[in-house]
Every structure is written in C-alpha cells, then in structure tokens.
Amino acid sequence: SDEILGYLADRNLNPIRYTWNAKGENILRKIQRAKQALPV
C-alpha cells in the first residue's frame, strides 16, 4: 500500500546498518542442535 511505500522511502533516506549481536559459533551450535532435534 501507499503507506508502506512511504514508510520505506523515509526509512531509506537514513538507513541504519544492522549489527549482529550473536557470534557465528553460537549460531552454528544452535543450528546443529535444531538439526538433531528434528525428526528425519
């Protein structure tokens, strides 16, 4: 809708870089645990 496009246009004028807070090692560990928990 027009409201969403307007919001995105305003937001893109002053973008804020996303900063990852989690370490890559922790993310990979969580993925491994999730794979083990899921049935095959």
Ramachandran area for residue 19 (φ above 0: left; ψ -120 to 50: alpha; else beta): beta
pTM: 0.48
**Distance in angstroms (rounded) separating the CA atoms of residues 5 and 12:** 10
pLDDT > 80? residue 40: no
What tens digit of pLDDT does each residue of 1-30 get? 999 999 999 999 999 998 989 999 999 999
- Domain limits, the chain: 2-37
pLDDT band at 33 (very low <50, low <70, confident <90, very high): very high
Q: In this structure, what is the dihedral angle of CA atoms 39, 33, 19, 21, given to the nearest 10 degrees?
A: 150
